[in-house]
């Protein structure tokens, strides 16, 4: 039996790690919803499993997504993950070539140079030594970069990085020690017993005269084993939990089991524990501009893991989704935050909704739901009515006198269950109308009608509807030479994926220029209803900052598609014309014959309010 006491720290660490992981994963799997579990069972023996494994190889080992952000950062992660993986795999092959058995204890391939000190007259061994030295060098280059990154993160494309907790720091330091200690142990072995290749034998010959001795030989193997064991023990309690958990998350995602259920479930746990606190998302968070530096997704997840959630870290977020689009692991940060915010204890009483009349006198083809925010930007509502009229559509304005909120503001505030009375009342209203299409001007309403109402009616945002009317030739419009820039509202763009329709409409009416941060990279106006904590001044500061970044120098008009964005940007008092797409179209319609001059400044203003 090949054994030495020094393998114990490693072996015990590995056992502890596996028992903790098994216990946690079983618990989280059991808390999956029935739908999620069925999806796993249904898709387990399909090609989806293979595509999951492929994604694991590309993301967890090669770190393709990180490389897309920054090559150096990608290389650093790849050398550590893929290098370590290769060390283990090639180590197993090497061990098999010596001992001709695959049933060795797990520590044999890890400490192979200790258990196979002598040189065999075998050219294969020389090749293995060379390959293992090469892989070790590969990993060490990653460790060196990680060390360098601590002090020069700008070279890795990151302005900010996460502040780590003590357990994370210990695990990080131990991780940095593992590979240099392996190099030391193998080099000393090489100095005493010979063998090794360019790296270990080279360093060995340097150490031969002064450091290499029986004592330093065994001490270095002990140190290597202890560092491994410590890392394994700290792993489940530190951010390195992401290493095993991300693998499971990728598989679950490929099996289609990650659908949001509205509460904290197994998927939430897997997502939260897949966050490596790498901090790549931090630079995308606009709240950092205001100095709110402890509420970003990595901190939320970390506090959740440690059961130390504070009101601020949970609530102070715009839920704009910018971090979600930058996350290299693909964690659904908004869904996780919504699940964490969910609070069933808050009493809500919406019994008064029974007074709302949901009957219809007419039988419209199209329903127009302006939405709360649109009622505060009447220009949008009037414009839409003018457009319906011009296109001769049989429509009905649903929320003329009495409007019920769509429910999304409450859902985003953690009161999804409590918003059901509103949801049901609105559904009743829509379904009683007999209409086939529901058009709304508010992206917040659009998102929730489309994704959470389960309506039998087609739901369109007014940009999509106008685009359709234009395609059908129902609107007589002409293009002007005005220069405009489009701002993607968070709820319409990033959160609903509607990017092209608004652009098509604008491009047909004016010269559309794109801001550098557009589409999924678009800035939030700051007015988000998901954040109840920001003061009015803070929101204004965000809006001013966003405007400055969105609007190019030669442009005087910003076109948006969200009443809340319009209202928020307008509050900045900047001399920029802020219009909604509907207003742009309506003014063009009303410009009569002289459409080329159309919707200059004053006209927009007079149409607005």
Partner 1 sequence: MNSFGFEIQKDNTIEYDKNDLSLAAFVLRHEPSLYNCIQCGSCSGTCPASAISSYQFRKMQLLMRRGETKHLREDVAHCMLCGKCILVCPRGVNTRNVIRQIRIALNMN
Q: Which residues of this chain interact with partner 1, rule CB under 8 A?
A: 311, 315, 343, 345-350, 352-353, 355-356, 372-373, 375-376, 401-405, 407, 409-410, 413, 415, 419, 422, 527, 529, 532-537, 564, 567
In angstroms, give the least distance from the CB of 175 to partner 1.
40
In contact, 329 and 392? CB cutoff 8 Å: no
Nearer Cβ to partner 1 (343/363): 343
Question: Which residues sit opposite 559 in a β-bridge?
Answer: 486, 579
Cβ nearer to partner 1, comparing 190 with 316:
316
Closest CA relative to residue 495, chosen from 532, 520, 465: 520
C-beta of 139 vs 415, nearer to partner 1 = 415
For residue 380 the two structure tokens come to 């949008």
Q: Which residue, 139 or 422, has its beta carbon nearer to partner 1?
A: 422
Burial category of 321 from C-beta neighbours within 10 Å (exposed 0-12, middle 13-18, buried 19 and up)? buried
Could you tell me which residues are beta bridge partners of residue 512?
Answer: 484
**Helix pair 166-193, 198-207: axis angle to 10 deg:** 80
Q: How far is the CB of 410 from partner 1 (least distance, A)?
A: 5
In whole angstroms, how far apart are CA 354 and each of 2, 165, 351, 453, 537?
A: 78, 51, 6, 19, 38
Q: Which is nearer to partner 1, 37 or 567 (CB)?
A: 567
In the sheet that holds 366-369, the strands lie side by side as: 395-397, 366-369, 437-440, 458-461
Axis crossing angle, helix 333-341 with helix 266-273, rounded to the nearest 10: 130
Measured CA to CA, the distance from residue 366 to residue 436 in angstroms comes to 6
Smaller CB distance to partner 1: residue 117 or 315? 315
- Classify residue 319 as left (phi > 0), alpha (psi -120 to 50) or beta: left
d(CA 441, CA 444): 9
Smallest distance from the beta carbon of 60 to partner 1, in angstroms?
39
d(C-alpha 476, C-alpha 592), whole Å: 10
* Beta carbons of 435 and 396 less than 8 angstroms apart: yes
Cβ distance 335 to 317 under 8 Å?
no
Query: Does an H or E element contain 511, and which?
Result: strand 511-513
The Cα–Cα gap between 586 and 169 comes to 59
Distance CA 266, CA 26 (A): 10
Closer CB to partner 1, residue 167 or residue 570? 570
Residue 89 or 348: the one with the smaller Cβ distance to partner 1 is 348
Closer to partner 1 by Cβ: residue 126 or 264: 264
């Amino acid at each position: 039996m090949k054994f030495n006491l020094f393998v114990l720290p490693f072996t015990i660490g590995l056992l502890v790690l596996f028992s903790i992981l098994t216990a946690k994963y079983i618990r989280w799997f059991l808390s999956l919803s029935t739908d999620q579990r069925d999806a796993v069972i249904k898709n387990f023996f399909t090609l989806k499993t293979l595509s999951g494994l492929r994604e694991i190889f590309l993301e967890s080992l090669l770190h393709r997504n990180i490389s897309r952000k920054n090559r150096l950062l990608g290389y650093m992660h790849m050398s550590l993950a893929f290098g370590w993986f290769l060390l283990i795999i090639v180590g197993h092959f090497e061990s098999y070539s010596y001992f001709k058995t695959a049933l060795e204890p797990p520590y044999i391939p890890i400490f192979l140079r200790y258990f196979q000190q002598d040189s065999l007259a075998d050219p294969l061994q020389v090749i293995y030594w060379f390959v293992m030295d090469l892989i070790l060098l590969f990993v060490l280059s990653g460790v060196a970069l990680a060390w360098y990154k601590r002090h020069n993160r700008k070279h890795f494309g990151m302005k900010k990085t996460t502040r780590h907790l003590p357990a994370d720091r210990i695990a990080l330091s131990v991780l940095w020690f593992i590979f240099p200690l392996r190099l030391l142990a193998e080099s000393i072995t090489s100095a005493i017993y010979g063998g090794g290749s360019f790296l270990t034998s080279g360093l060995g010959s340097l150490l031969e005269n002064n450091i290499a001795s029986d004592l330093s030989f065994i001490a270095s193997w002990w140190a290597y084993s202890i560092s491994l064991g410590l890392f394994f023990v700290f792993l489940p309690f530190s951010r390195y939990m992401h290493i095993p958990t991300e693998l499971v998350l990728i598989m679950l995602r490929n099996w289609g089991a990650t659908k949001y259920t509205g509460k904290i479930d197994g998927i939430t746990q897997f997502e939260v524990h897949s966050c490596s606190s790498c901090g790549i998302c931090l630079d995308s968070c606009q709240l950092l501009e205001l100095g709110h530096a402890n509420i970003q997704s990595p901190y939320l997840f970390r506090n959740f893991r440690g059961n130390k959630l504070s009101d601020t870290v949970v609530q102070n977020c715009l839920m704009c989704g910018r971090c979600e689009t930058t996350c290299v692991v693909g964690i659904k940060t908004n869904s996780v935050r919504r699940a964490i915010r969910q609070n069933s204890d808050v009493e809500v009483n919406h019994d008064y909704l029974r007074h709302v009349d949901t009957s219809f006198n007419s039988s419209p083809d199209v329903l127009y739901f302006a939405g709360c925010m649109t009622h505060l930007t009447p220009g949008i509502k009037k414009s839409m009515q003018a457009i319906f009229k011009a296109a001769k559509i049989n429509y009905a304005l649903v929320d003329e006198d009495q409007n019920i909120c769509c429910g999304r503001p409450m859902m985003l505030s953690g009161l999804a269950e409590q918003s059901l009375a509103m949801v049901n009342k609105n559904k009743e209203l829509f379904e009683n109308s007999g209409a086939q299409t529901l058009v709304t001007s508010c992206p917040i309403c659009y998102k929730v009608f489309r994704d959470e109402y389960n309506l039998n009616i087609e739901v369109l945002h007014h940009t999509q509807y106008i685009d359709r009317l234009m395609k059908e030739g129902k609107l007589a419009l002409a293009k002007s030479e005005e220069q405009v820039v489009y701002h993607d509202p968070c709820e319409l763009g990033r959160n609903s994926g509607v990017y092209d329709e608004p652009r098509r409409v604008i491009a047909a009416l004016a010269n559309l220029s794109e801001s550098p941060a557009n589409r999924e990279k678009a800035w939030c106006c700051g007015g988000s209803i998901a954040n109840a904590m920001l003061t009015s001044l803070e929101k204004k500061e965000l809006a001013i900052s966003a405007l400055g970044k969105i609007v190019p120098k030669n442009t005087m008009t910003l076109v948006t598609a969200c009443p809340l964005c319009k209202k928020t940007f307008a509050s900045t008092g900047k001399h920029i014309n802020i219009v909604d797409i509907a207003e742009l179209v309506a003014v063009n319609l009303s410009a009569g014959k002289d459409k080329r001059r159309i919707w200059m400044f004053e006209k927009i203003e007079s149409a607005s309010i």
